[in-house]
Amino acid sequence: MHSRSGKGAPRAFMAALAVSLGITSASAHAEGTLRIAEQFGVVYLLLNVARDQKFIEQEGKKEGLDIKVDWAKLSGGSSVNDALLSGSVDIAAAGVGPLLTIWDRTHGRQNVKGVASLGNFPYYLVSNDPRVKTIADFSEKDRIAVPAVGVSVQSRILQYAAAKQWGDKQYDRLDKLTQAVPHPDATAAIIAGGTEINAHFGNPPFQQQELAGNPKAHIVLNSYDVLGGPSSATVLYATEKFRNENPKTYRAFVAGLADAARYITQHPDQAADIYLRVNNAKIDRDLLIKVIKDPSVQFKVAPQNTFALAQFMHRVGAIKNEPKSWQDYFFSDPATKDGS
């Protein structure tokens, strides 16, 4: 299921999502059912592998549960957050930016926190305009595609980069140039050229497809450079209520993710085939394997290097509650104890 809007999903859409997953507006349900919202890209490979290999179901049996997992594919952190808060899904998959936004918004109420990371991936801001070599070269005529304007992790990293370039007071200087476009559509625009979208802050494998598909495409910004090293750009999160009321299902989910991380590390070629099959993706297999085997990509469930972005977002007023450490916005679990 796809949402074309990076902004708040309309009620009709959320109702349709609930019906498609066979649920009511009440979010409480018995142990053994799990509803997961994912998005586009290799950054969701842990979920693809866990789904294909039925790792969550296998871990559920160890807990004495026959877990039924439902999947919904959305686009943009805003839609994912709306789905979680409406009770349409139990586990949300989106960037660290959307996690921090919903953690702040639900602090003292639903208490949404991070469950695990989906791994460390560099995100590239790619332009097909030779004139644009750094973010300082963007002008009023440029348009930058992001999955969700203002709240996606790509938007937040772009704001962080702008703050480093021009100061905190101008952190949102480039926001007016951004447009909410799903990654597949933005990638097609960058490769084709000649559209109003001449830049895309994406994720793997879309950014690699752009670089391979258009000789003018080049990297303007690397998220690792902004954040100071390898970092978990995309994470999973849930409400405190779901975690407390479904401890066995929750444990099985996290254990299934860890199984998927080990599988990908040990079997990257097979993981690439799973990605192609689960997503019905048209990407070149060799390019995909190159992305998965990239030394800068690390498949792990413990979050890494998220706190600098959290501090920035509080400093500029994007979130009101000040986190004292990464553990303020992640649940405490053995699988994520070595996070940062």
pLDDT in tens, 32-78: 999 999 888 899 999 999 999 999 999 999 999 999 999 988 877 78
The boundaries of every CATH 3.40.190.10 domain in the chain are 11-121+231-336, 124-227
Of the pLDDT bands very low, low, confident and very high (cuts 50, 70, 90), residue 151 is: confident
Read off φ and ψ for residue 57, nearest 5 degrees: -65, -40
Mean of pLDDT values over 257-277 = 97
The whole-angstrom separation of Cα 183 and Cα 39 is 9
The string over 62-89, giving b where at least 16 C-beta atoms fall within 10 Å of a residue's C-beta and e elsewhere, is ebebebebebbebbbbbbbbbbbbbbbb
Q: What is the CATH number of domain 124-227?
A: 3.40.190.10
| SS3 of residue 144 by DSSP | strand
> Partners of 146 in the beta sheet?
180
Indicate whether 225 pLDDT > 50. Answer: yes
pLDDT confidence of residue 308: 95
| SS3 of residue 338 by DSSP | coil
Mean of pLDDT values over 234-242 = 96
Of the pLDDT bands very low, low, confident and very high (cuts 50, 70, 90), residue 29 is: low
Mean of pLDDT values over 124-130 = 98
Contacts 24+ apart (CB under 8 A), 108-113: 110/85, 110/239, 110/240, 110/241, 111/239, 111/240, 111/241, 112/84, 112/85, 112/237, 112/238, 112/239, 112/240, 113/237, 113/238, 113/240, 113/329, 113/330, 113/331
Tokens of 246: 């479904």
Indicate whether 174 pLDDT > 70. Answer: yes
Tokens of 85: 């808060």
Indicate whether 96 pLDDT > 70. Answer: yes
Q: Above pLDDT 90, what percent of the chain?
A: 82
Indicate whether 22 pLDDT > 90. Answer: no
Comparing 162 with 25, which gets the higher pLDDT? 162
DSSP single-letter state for residue 173: T
CATH architecture classification, 11-121+231-336 = 3-Layer(aba) Sandwich (3.40)
Full-model pTM: 0.85
Of the pLDDT bands very low, low, confident and very high (cuts 50, 70, 90), residue 270 is: very high
Could you give the strand order of the β-sheet that contains 33-38, starting from the edge strand earlier in sequence? 68-73, 33-38, 91-95, 234-238, 113-117
pLDDT confidence of residue 78: 81
